[in-house]
Structure 1
Amino acid sequence: MNMPNGNAKSMDVVIVGGGLVGSLEALYLVKRGHRVRLYEYREDIRNTPQIRGRSINLALSVRGRRALKDVGLEEHIVKDHGIPMYARKIHRLDGSTYEIPYDARTNQSIFSVGRNYLNSALLKESDKYKNVEKYFNHKLVEANLKRGSLQFLKTDTKETIEVQADLIIGADGAFSAVRRAMMKEPLFDYSQTYIEHGYLELCIPSDQNGSFQMPANYLHIWPRGNFMMIALPNQDCSWTVTLFMPFSYFKNLDSEERLMEFFQQYFPDSIPLIGKKKLIEDFFAGSPSPLVSVKCRPYNISEKALIIGDAAHAVVPFYGQGMNAGFEDCTILDRMFQKYDDDVAKVLEEYSRTRWVDTFAISDLAVYNYIEMRDLVTRPSYRLRKALDDFIFWLLPVTWVPLYNSVTFSTMPYSQCVKNREWQNKVLLSTFLAIGGMFTIATVYGLRK
């Protein structure tokens, strides 16, 4: 395909990072008629499908689906590859379970999708366009963003190449080399925060018949107060199991005996699902990985460079919004390109000035949701509030949208989701205080009578 929009203001764009967000942004731009060159440090994921890298599956929700719809991939990913998850299934210590629906009113679901499969699908879709070129095994080693100049090292041949571009977009992850170049500029604010908890991935294989060992349409959670374990379903009927807990806990599990004692105490029902031998092998085959949040601004350098996705706002994974927020970056950029008729200076200025408010909000929400998942879901007060939210949502579906629903099943700006929650808290507090006051007055009146 050739420049579908016939764009008279066609730019030469270099995207650093061929992961999910970089591949999606490339599609958005080539569909607008721009020339795109995509540079990725790793090999082509389509040639190395078994290399896991980061978490093997992700939770796709409405914001991500909207982006995939824009580039023509939503139906394929959701219907042919995604596994719907309608609720959290909570595992108690005694092995019994209960469900907490994500959307009790309309029964919406999030979808478990394979990271590598989705990345491959995005790259494959871009093959249809002649105005995109892809270069793998290219490591960014030097950048002059103001001049639009980049230097890459070809990791297979050790050759160095120079690249010029009208616009540079950094979509190269939480430890972005493009962002590192931006940090040399004055007035660039940056902070990163590591939480004290790490994660380690395990696996529940399919059963002897090649079927799921647990009910498939759920996100399974083993909440244990200060730590937790979750499991997401895979297309091959296995489960990606992720153990989140403080690094000090991981350090103490330094022998097979201690590991098995720990699982017997906190996750006894998972042992026959994983298998004792496999649990030991997988646990000691790797080491726990850290979890980092990144906040920074501005996201651009004049009209020459921009960072998006994790490069701009890495978040911890507990709201399932990392990929979805990155995909939403691409959607918002595309809408701004339309709004300003591809005037990149105006696009980058407005995007950088406005987007950070929402990315900061989802970063904070993600940290809060970890506390909810590992601890609060087991408390009666949480379940009471959830039931109350669902009931009012049923009565007033437009006025009262619960926090999780607004984040996951709408495209409401993240910052507005937070404001809505704060307003709901005030309404409930005022209502309870009023009811309490009326009850007190009635009681005093009754005693006097």
Structure 2
Amino acid sequence: MTQSPRITLIGGGLVGALLAQQLAQRGFAVEVFEKRPDPRLAGFLGGRSINLALAERGLQALRSAGLADDVLQRAVMMRGRMVHDRDGHSALQRYGVDDSEVIWSVSRGALNMLLLDAAEAAGVTFHFGQSLVAVDFERQRIRLADAAGVEREQTVGLLIGADGAGSALRAAMNAHAPLGERIEALGHGYKELEIPPADELAATLQQLGGGRDQYALEPHALHIWPRGGYMCIALPNTEGSFTVTLFLPAQGAAPSFASLPGSTAAAAFFSEQFPGLLSLIPRFAEDFDHNPVGTLSTLYLDRWHLDGRALLVGDAAHAIVPFHGQGMNCGFEDTVVLANLLAAAPGDSAEVFAEFQRVRQPNADAIAAMALENYVEMRDSVADPHYLAKRELGALLAARIPAHYMARYRMVTFTHLPYAYALERGRAQDRLLEQLLRENPDVATIDIEAAAQLLVSTLPPLPALRHG
């Protein structure tokens, strides 16, 4: 029998910890080097989004690791988008057909710590506070530095980089043999604020007519304040708070982060553009002045691996913007594919790494494109009459011919259909919806039976296996 190779993972974040656990479950000896301190001892260090959207792809990976139930106990269900207009009115746009199709708001820190515990229980060895400084790919050795800058060398096995968008392993691989790296900046940034639990807002909520239990807003929704070109969103946390994220152009004329140099200007902007929201953020000045402006970019690589010696996964290989809520889910999907490939051919890492890229890269490219498109949809289209008409028509067709029509968002979020398939099928369906609405823009007067027959005659049935 072929002996399983030793595996060295760089990065112990969400994808790294889950991949380590999956590999250990399949009998591999796994060692992880993480530059940050152990969050279970030092506390979780922020700097990136505090909470994330967990959907079916990520849940399926967690199920395969035996962790889905534990994670869901620490999550808040979100049924859809609660869209807030400028007049203070709101309306829920469901993500799926019912409560069997929801997404979950999860804390990045809590999820990371749960995954670390699970990986250690599976036999993984973690080394925290260890930054990758250099790699000697010929000698299979790496150089690491601790928090004090003290360096040491370490012999490694198969190198896998799960160390995020700023991957140190990717930089080392690229220096050794160029990977064809392209980073496309969105030109927009983000800043996080917080709505505290309702009991901290008691006086304000009384003036506004009350809250919902411990939450200041409807807890089972992802809240969006779309304003065309920019937006705010808010995701619920289990303790009753909401993480609010403002997305704006980084530079240029107002509104942009450059035009809002401090909390005074920002508060005036919020009062005008997001009525009612400012009063729910009592620490607005502190949050705005102290929280950094995050950057948003998409990473593309021609090559994800260096023959059979090193491979990149998750954000290290294909970082995307967050507007489809799929970055973590895509990375988790990576872990299952890679762990299964390695388990099937443990002695042929070069072939495994090549096959992993062949299978996953088209899907990574597809979700990158859809995430960029979803930003426009969230900030502009959700309040647009034509978008709403197309959404209404799509819902009628989904109910009438479920074997032939499913909204692209549902394909991405609630099924295991490949991202690349969802992208192309979604485009084909959209062309037909546009054709129908061009001929008759009033959904109420469209002959749904004839519209259904058009789709059935034009598009093949959806794959039978859709849900997990």
Instruction: Report the TM-score when normalising by structure 1.
Output: 0.90
* Structure 1 range deviating more: 230-239 or 422-431: 422-431
Unmatched segments (≥5 aa) in structure 1: 1-6, 440-449
Rate the CA distance shift 1:372–1:426 in 2: closer, same or farther, 3 A: closer
Correspondences of 1:271-420 after superposition (within 5 Å):
271-275=278-282, 278-340=283-345, 343-420=348-425
Which residue pairs with 1:267 in the alignment?
274
Work out whether 1:231 is the aligned partner of 2:234.
yes
Rate the CA distance shift 1:256–1:362 in 2: closer, same or farther, 3 A: closer
One-letter amino acid of the counterpart of residue 58, structure 1:
L
- Number of residue equivalences: 426
Give the distance between the partners of 1:251 and 1:357, measured in 2 at CA.
36
Which residue pairs with 1:90 in the alignment?
83
Give the distance between the partners of 2:356 and 2:236, measured in 1 at CA.
35
* Structure 1 range deviating more: 188-197 or 49-58: 49-58
Correspondences of 1:35-184 after superposition (within 5 Å):
35-78=29-72, 80-104=73-97, 107-130=100-123, 132-156=124-148, 158-184=149-175
Rate the CA distance shift 1:105–1:179 in 2: closer, same or farther, 3 A: same
Give the SS at the match of 1:46. Answer: helix
Give the distance between the partners of 2:177 and 2:44, measured in 1 at CA.
42
Which residue pairs with 2:5 in the alignment?
11
Pairwise CA distance, 1:303: 1.1
Which residue pairs with 2:224 in the alignment?
221
Give the distance between the partners of 2:439 and 2:342, measured in 1 at CA.
50
Conserved in 2, the CA contact under 8 Å of 1:88 and 1:218?
yes
Pairwise CA distance, 1:429: 4.7
Rate the CA distance shift 1:306–1:213 in 2: closer, same or farther, 3 A: same
Rate the CA distance shift 1:50–1:33 in 2: closer, same or farther, 3 A: closer
One-letter amino acid of the counterpart of residue 346, structure 1:
E
Give the distance between the partners of 1:40 and 1:358, measured in 2 at CA.
27
Pairwise CA distance, 1:333: 1.0
Conserved in 2, the CA contact under 8 Å of 1:105 and 1:393?
no
Pairwise CA distance, 1:348: 1.0
One-letter amino acid of the counterpart of residue 409, structure 2:
Y
Give the SS at the match of 1:252. Answer: coil
Pairwise CA distance, 1:354: 2.8
Give the SS at the match of 1:251. Answer: coil
Conserved in 2, the CA contact under 8 Å of 1:297 and 1:352?
no
Work out whether 1:196 is the aligned partner of 2:199.
no
One-letter amino acid of the counterpart of residue 391, structure 2:
K
One-letter amino acid of the counterpart of residue 237, structure 2:
N
Give the SS at the match of 2:159. Answer: strand
Pairwise CA distance, 1:144: 2.3
Identity %: 35
One-letter amino acid of the counterpart of residue 261, structure 1:
A
Give the SS at the match of 1:93. Answer: coil
* Structure 1 range deviating more: 196-205 or 394-403: 394-403
Give the SS at the match of 2:244. Answer: strand
Q: Which runs of 4+ in 1 moved over 4 A?
A: 429-436
One-letter amino acid of the counterpart of residue 89, structure 1:
M
Instruction: Report the TM-score when normalising by structure 2.
Output: 0.87
Pairwise CA distance, 1:353: 2.4
- Computed over aligned residues only, the root mean square deviation of the Cα atoms, in angstroms, reads 2.0
Give the SS at the match of 2:416. Answer: coil
Rate the CA distance shift 1:280–1:432 in 2: closer, same or farther, 3 A: closer
Rate the CA distance shift 1:388–1:339 in 2: closer, same or farther, 3 A: farther
Give the SS at the match of 2:301. Answer: strand
Unmatched segments (≥5 aa) in structure 2: 201-212, 447-468
